[in-house]
Structure 1
Amino acid sequence: MKIFVVLSACVAVSLCAAIQEDDKSALAALRQLPALEHEEVHDDLGQYSLHYVTAEGTRVSERGRLIPTEDGGQVLITEGEVSYVGGDGKTYTTKYTAGLDGYKVEGDHLPKPVELVPAPAASS
């Protein structure tokens, strides 16, 4: 009986390994394909907009636009979003901005910043 259980476990592990290798090779083949959608627009000032979708389902969109600064110059603000399907089958979406107030990123799958709680005042 023990030999049957051990043999069954070995067969199950080898079948799973073969399936995972097939998934990896299929994913590698998808990554070699050109983008299914690709749109990119630029202007003479350096502003841009782009959007593409890959064969494996990754979606990327980004926009760069100029905004005036207080000193009379201009700065390029970047806003974008990346979405992909993870190895667990879930869709992960990350949104980001970069500009005068720095780089900010958000997504449900990203760790949340820890909120500091003020320590109680020491009593004498």
Structure 2
Amino acid sequence: MKLFIVAALFVAATVAAPVNPDTDAQILRYDNDNIGVGPYRVDVETSNGISQSAQGELKNAGTENEATEVRGQYSYVGPDNVVYTVTYIANENGYQADGAHIPRNQ
């Protein structure tokens, strides 16, 4: 019985906790086109300025070079209030990211 009371108090305290818009982001948009096979796409946007979009598909299906390829981008607001955006591709060659704030190898 004591365990139930402690658990109930914990749940009540969690539910009653104030929501801080600076740290507790809300999902504004979530689109998911994925039936578990074939190509997919997902788009997410949150109230704290984070957004993400990705699409993936199987390349060279049925061959020895078969690989999943994902292309996407994500953005976030940095501590300096600048929006940073990263575009990327992830495939058999690894994760390759690009953004104005990412140093490039010369």
How far is the alpha carbon of 1:85 from its aligned partner? 1.3
CA-based RMSD = 2.1
**Deviations 1:51-98 (CA, angstroms, capped at 9, x unpaired):** 011001111001111111583663210111011111111110001111
Aligned to 1:100: 92
Residues 19-58 of structure 1 aligned to structure 2 (within 5 Å) = 26-28=21-23, 32-58=24-50
TM-score, normalized by length of structure 2? 0.70
Q: Which has the larger radius of gyration?
A: 1
Equivalent pair of 1:59/1:82 in contact (CA under 8 Å): yes
Q: How many residues align?
A: 87
Question: Which is richer in strand?
Answer: 2
Going from structure 1 to structure 2, the CA distance change for 1:35 and 1:91 (only over 3 Å counts) comes to same
TM-score, normalized by length of structure 1? 0.61
Equivalent pair of 1:69/1:75 in contact (CA under 8 Å): yes
Equivalent pair of 2:39/2:57 in contact (CA under 8 Å): yes
Task: Tell which has more relative contact order, 1 or 2 (C-alpha 8 A, sep 6+).
Answer: 2
Question: Which is richer in helix?
Answer: 1
Percent of residue pairs identical: 26
Equivalent pair of 2:78/2:84 in contact (CA under 8 Å): yes
Q: Does 1:59 align with 2:54?
A: no
How far is the alpha carbon of 1:106 from its aligned partner? 0.5
SS at match of 1:105: strand
Q: Please, which runs of 5 or more residues in structure 2 have no aligned partner?
A: 1-19
Moved over 6 A (4+): none
Aligned to 1:7: none
